[in-house]
Amino acid sequence: MRWYWIDRYTEFVRGTRATAVKCVSLAEEHMHDHFNHYPIMPHSLVVEGVAQTGGLLVSEFNECREKVVLAKLTKAVFYCEPRPGDVLTYRVQVQYLNANGASITATSHIGDKLHAEFDMMFAYLRDNDFGDKELFTMQDYKHLFFNFHVYDIGTEADGVTPISVPDCFKNI
């Protein structure tokens, strides 16, 4: 990932659910390019923020052994537009995880107001599907998880036991 459409996680329950926030700022370049003199955060970037929230939740469950990508957006309903100064709260709930990928449901809120609802499917990429090209490195994943505070607030599925940094990150 080169662009981050979440600022941090506020809840992270391994393989189950996550909550992340995105502060919408007039300082972001896309706010000036989308609609002249009417800055809003484009819905496509909200979809990407929710996908990042859910995709990292799915990836962490497998200790990043599987590369996760958004495979299908089956539902996206928007009720209002995010404006500068708004804080988007993305809430993601895993519906299933299996050997081929995962499915999530999600919502986006602006304060207490429902902003959008989503259903998404994720697929696992196999490194050999892309020849010699490495799509993501363990350093990339480690950077994301630490910058988004996953190991500061994350818990096991019981919602109480803190998750630990996986062995794959300890030697990087």
Question: Which of the residues are catalytic?
Answer: 34
Quick count: other Cβ atoms within 10 Å of Cβ 154?
A: 22
In angstroms, the first-to-last Cα distance of the chain is 18
Strand order in the sheet with 101-110: 67-78, 113-125, 101-110, 87-97, 17-23, 8-13, 154-155
> Could you give the angle at the alpha carbon of 56 between the alpha carbons of 50 and 59, nearest 5°?
140
Contact 55, 16 (CB under 8 A): no
- Dihedral angle sign, alpha carbons of residues 75, 80, 84, 88: negative
Structure-block tokens of residue 155: 């818990």
Report yes or no: 11 and 149 within 8 Å, Cβ to Cβ: no
